[in-house]
Amino acid sequence: MSRDLRRMLGLLLAAGVALATLPWLASDFLLSLALTCLMYVGLAVSWSMFSGATNYLSLATSAFFGIGAYVTAWGFETLPYAVVVPLGGLVAAAFAALVGAAVLHLRGAYFAVLTFGLGELVRHAITYGEKTYAKTVGRVIADAPETTTVYFTVLLVAFLAVAVCAAVRASRFGLALAGVGADEERAQTLGVNTRRTKILGFTLAAFFAGALGAAMAVRWTYIEPASVFNPFIGFQTVLIAMIGGAQTLLGPVVSAVVFSLFSELLRLQFPYAYLMLLGLLLIVLVLYLPGGIGSLFKGRWARA
Amino acid sequence: MGLWFELAASGLITGGIYALVALGLNLQYGLMRIMNISHGEFLMLGAYLTWLAHTVFGINPVVFLPVVAIVLFAVGLIVYRLCFRRIARTSPSVEAIEARSLLIGFGLMYLVQNAAYLIWGADMRGYSFLSDPVEIAGARFAGNSLLAFGFAVAASFAMLALLRWTMLGKAVRAMMQSPTGAQLVGIDTRVLHPMVFGAGLALAGVAGALLSMVYEITPGMGEPYTVTALIVITLGGLGSAAGCLAGGLLLGLVEAFGMHFTSPSLKMLLSYGVFIGVLLARPKGLFAR
Amino acid sequence: MNPKSGIKVLAAALFAAVLAPALAQDAPVRIGYAIARTGPWAAGAQVTQEPNYIMWAEQVNAAGGLSVKGKKRKVELVGFDDRSEAETVVRTYEKLMGSDKVDLILPPWGTGANFAVMPVVQKFGYPMISPTATGRKLLQMKNPYFFAILQQPDQMMNALAEFLKARNTKTAAMVHVDELFGLEQASALEAAFKEKGIQLVEKKSYPMGVKDLKPVLNDIKSKNPDAFVALSYPPDTFLITAQAREIGFNPKAFYASVGTAFPVYRDKFSAGTVEGVMGLGTLNPKSSPAAKAYFAAHKARHNKEPDRWASAHSWAALQVMEQAVAKVGLERKALRDAIASGEFDTVIGKVRFKNGENVATPGVVSQWQSGEFEVVWPPDRATAPAFFPKPNWK
């Protein structure tokens, strides 16, 4: 383990511990605000780990998230929350491995739109299956865990996502992913098994999105395909990661927090026009800071 | 025979509407690699302008179509100047243009959609125009959807012809294949880019105007149409005018026949299934170049 | 202005802002809610729900304020956009009840959002009377603070089946949307038809977001049922109406669900076209003088008509809240008990809750006739005799 990585993980751990005290300090509202931030930290960082490095723009995040949520919907009555969350991640990862093998030869916009289509396909498949076999489309979650429990869980998953991504970036596997992004054919000639690298990266990213979906789902009492496969979750993830600078680690983290807090602040302060303000800011940001928030961090942090 | 004809006709007309929705985005993405996620929002603008003109001023929506096209073309020039010109000039690679234009598109989407919410409110709107059924070979169709279908087909063929046989088309295709090369042989992308972008918005606006005759409209209507457009142009092959039409029609037909022979519940599964299937077999769409 | 006096003014303003509410004799009653102003839920929320909140607050304040156990206090609405997202709904209500500690809350729009706030509402103990939440599953949660004022699926579908039975209908076909709403209504309708001996000759469902249902309608047309029932959401309600007319499918009874009660439904197709179409409704201006006054006030304030179904339930929910607060004040447990046990006079008639369900408002069938959504069933609420069979599409 390199010194940079160790320092990074140490810092992360300190941040995690600090954040873990929040339930005793903050109100319910601040806690759920922190929850939203952490959810997007986890989603954006894991998305960047694969899509940022390889330049394969995936819109499948909402599919993974929704699959995770549905694992909770189906399993929550019989399994404990602590099992459901990793299970949600595993199911999403299995799905990603399966489809990754089939679709990762597509490139550019074709890959992006196809991954979006996959999300919709899963959503409609679940709707159809639930309707036909369970005679309903939504599931009610009774006796949901306390907000504090959900918060700790999401904190843990987000923490793991950042830690794993940091480790991946420092590893041979991370270099291979970046190699795919820089020049796939050259990476292949240099002996990287690009196909396996891509599938593995895609799967790993899916695990975190799925686990986050499974963890968050208990918050909404009623789970239905339209709300948990909301394509907006996927779009927002891409947006956050790209504003942050998807090639960096810290960029998406900072961006997720800033974006979530900022849009909430605007929403509460300007209840009618806040999305227009958000849109304007976004445009200005892209025009004048094209490298993303990550490009503001120089030196070691840019690489870390 | 009657049944097959009716199913095919119904599918083709819906497919025509899908193609119609995709025309403008196909132009922008296919020729300039601008991934304009706010495409549906400009379609919505076209729809609202037409609705306003018809319900407030009593203007015939068909007569109003050219006005919508001109207004949105002008909006397109302004939007391009303010948002996309800088990106097209400063981005180091085509991938960077795609990625950055995607983000700008998000910003525009928020901006335009919410401006519409503020101006017109969230209520559904609609008016009745050309909704009387027309009988063709024993089957009945609403006049307005026939009009939308007709426009989609005509515009697709016009674009095909334009790109293939005119000087302008050659310039545009050259620009698509190699922006720098195009510049070297004297094609002025500084003029061509805003024009193409404006034309894309004009097409979106006209599509919106036609759709407002058929369906009800809301400020949030754009998003699903953007998704439809993305699916159709990817299915057909990005930038291919023939592919866009073929992709739309294929989806329409799959839905109509699927709905009849299986179950309407399976409709979405079928269309996404076909879409994914086609792309797996032909990773660059039906009309890959 | 020199800088010093500027600071003084600022300090005074700050002082006023911080202390004024505490010093005032009667601080306003703060009423919080989150509702969709943007996103897919907004079209429903902004027709049916929020306009009523705004109008109610204005009317109450114009009349001197809300009577809190006889003492008049102004009301202040604290409303936020929920972006049509469940997570934002939950977070906003946590803020309103947990951090802002508002005096009362009003519900968000739609069944999904109401589900999402159930646990927080129970945790903080704020009574919530929901005009746009339907479904047995909601009531089965047995949340003591939740009250559903809208008719539940079985009431509405029973009314429809009774209406059809009274007109000797033998066969019917049904389509429904694959959502909780459509599925619950569909199973309620099947049960009601079975009981009344009406034969269901075709039953099909479709997913949200369809742009064409002509093949389905053609199939159903060929079976020639007496009645056609679409358990649909607004976009499909519009689509089914347009396409049924297109292919000339004109059964004796044509019923579509959410959206038929919206004025835009009539305006999109013209009053002549929708003549005879039936749907979910509760009342219209002719139902009572109170209803007439409500429609007139809504038109005057918002420059648009309310819908003929859930809008009035939104208004009635506010009336129930107002009457309960007048009686027992703002202590929330007492307020809940007052709502749960009382009977209230509202624009939709008497309202009384049993296990959180409004049991005083019957299921109603309404029908468009010359530009008005007339109540045609049950007979004691009817504002006009029904057109049966339905006249031909114009």
Residue A138 reports pLDDT greater than 90: no
Answer whether B276 sits within 8 Å of A106, measured CB to CB: no
CB contact under 8 A, B216 and C264: yes
Token readout for A192 is 């990287």
- In chain A, whose CA is at the least distance from the CA of B96? A290
- Residues on chain C touching A127 (C-beta within 8 angstroms): 178, 207
Q: Which of A110, A278, A281 has its CB closest to that of B234? A: A110
**160-189 of C, contacting B, C-beta below 8 A:** 175, 178
Measured in degrees and rounded to the nearest 5, phi and psi for residue C6 equal -60, -45
Q: Does the pLDDT of residue C10 top 60, yes or no?
A: no
- The answer to whether A116 contacts chain B (CB < 8 Å) is yes
Contact B265, C205 (CB under 8 A): yes
Is residue A41 less than 8 Å (CB to CB) from chain C? no
Q: What is the pLDDT of residue C7?
A: 52
Q: Which of A117, A276, A290 sits opposite B275 (nearest CB)?
A: A117
- Which residue blocks in chain C are alpha helix, DSSP H? 3-23, 42-48, 50-62, 86-93, 111-124, 136-140, 153-166, 180-196, 214-223, 234-246, 263-269, 289-302, 310-328, 332-341
| Nearest-CB residue to C264 (from B126, B140, B263) | B126
- Asked if C361 and C349 count as a contact pair (C-beta separation under 8 A), the reply is yes
Q: Given pLDDT bands bounded at 50, 70 and 90, which one contains residue A301?
A: very low
B122 CB within 8 Å of a chain C CB: yes
Whether C209 and C175 have beta carbons less than 8 Å apart is answered as no
Q: Which of residues 132-151 of B touch C (CB under 8 A)?
A: 133, 140-142
Average pLDDT over residues C163-180: 94
* pLDDT attached to residue C5: 53
pLDDT category at A304 given cuts 50, 70, 90 is very low
Q: Which residue has the higher pLDDT, A31 or A138?
A: A31
Of the residues C35, C37, C38, the best mutation for testing chain B's interface (the one with the most B CB atoms within 10 Å of its CB) is C38
How close, in Å, is residue B5 to chain C by CA atoms? 11
Question: Which of helix, strand or coil describes residue C147?
Answer: strand
Q: Does C215 touch chain B (CB under 8 A)?
A: yes
What HEC string does B33-81 produce? CCCCCCHHHHHHHHHHHHHHHHHHHCCCHHHHHHHHHHHHHHHHHHHHH
Residue A22 identity (one-letter amino acid): L
Asked if B263's CB is within 8 angstroms of C205's CB, the reply is yes
* A109 to B238: CB separation less than 8 angstroms, yes or no: yes
Nearest CA distance, B95 vs chain C (angstrom): 30
Indicate the angle between helix axes B39-57 and B2-32, nearest 10 degrees. Answer: 120
pLDDT-based confidence at residue C9 (cuts at 50, 70, 90) = low
Strand partners, C79: C33
Residue C1 in this model has a pLDDT that exceeds 50: no
The rounded radius of gyration (Å) of the Cα atoms in chain A is: 19
* Closest among C118, C123, C183, C120 to C147, alpha carbons compared: C118
Residues of chain C with a CB closer than 8 angstroms to some CB in chain A: 37-38, 79-81, 83, 85-88, 90-91, 94-95, 98-99, 111-112, 115-116, 118-120, 137, 140-141, 178-180, 183, 187, 205, 207-208
Mean pLDDT (whole number) for C342-352 = 96
Nearest CA-CA distance, residue C42 and chain B, Å: 6
CA separation for the pair B104, B96 (Å, rounded): 12
Cross-chain residue pair A109–B231, CB shorter than 8 Å: no
- Does the distance separating the beta carbons of C38 and A131 come in below 8 Å? no
Cβ contacts (< 8 Å) between A116 and chain B: which residues?
Answer: 227, 230
B264-279: pLDDT as tens digits:
889 889 999 999 999 9
Cβ contact A27–C115 (<8 Å): no
Neighbours of A71 (CB within 10 A): 26
Give CA–CA dist A116/A59, Å, rounded. 5
Q: What mean pLDDT is predicted for residues A281-296? A: 84
**Distance in angstroms (rounded) separating the CA atoms of residues B271 and B284:** 18
pLDDT at A7: 81
Question: Residue A219: which of A92, A85, A90 has the closest Cα?
Answer: A85
- Which chains does chain B touch, 3 or more C-beta pairs < 8 A? A, C
Is residue C22 pLDDT above 60, yes or no? no
For residues B216 and B212, give the distance between their C-alpha atoms in angstroms, rounded to a whole number: 6
Residue A16, pLDDT score:
84
Q: Which of residues 271-300 of C touch B (CB under 8 A)?
A: 273
Write down the mean pLDDT value for chain C: 92
Give the per-residue pLDDT at C17: 52
B181 CB within 8 Å of a chain A CB: no
Nearest Cα residue to A156 out of A2, A15, A297:
A15
Q: Is the pLDDT of residue A222 over 50?
A: yes
Token couple for C191: 């049960």
pLDDT-derived band at C21, boundaries 50, 70, 90: very low
Pairing assessment for the beta strands A222-223 and C75-81 based on DSSP bridges? unpaired
A270 touches chain B (CB under 8 A): no
The tens digit of pLDDT for each residue in A10-25 reads 888 888 888 888 888 8
For residue B248, pLDDT beyond 80: yes
- For C50-63, the pLDDT digits (tens) are 999 999 999 999 99
Chain C CB contacts of A142 below 8 Å = 141
- Tell me the pLDDT of chain A averaged across its residues: 90
Residue C97's Cα: distance from chain center in Å? 23
Residues near B78 by beta carbon (within 8 Å), at least 6 away in sequence? none
Name the percent of chain A lying above pLDDT 70: 97
Closest CA to B252 of B12, B7, B23, B6: B12
At residue B91, the pLDDT reads 81
Chain B CB within 8 Å of residue C220 CB: no
Q: Which of B123, B221, B228 has the highest number of chain C CBs within 10 A, making it the mutation to test binding with C?
A: B123
Percent of chain C residues past pLDDT 90, beyond the cut: 87
Whole-prediction pTM value?
0.91
Contacts of B67 (CB under 8 A, 6+ apart): B49, B53
Higher model confidence: residue A174 or residue B174? A174
Among C35, C46, C85, C212, the strongest candidate for a mutation testing the B interface, having the largest count of B CBs within 10 A, is: C212
CA distance B223 to chain C (A): 10
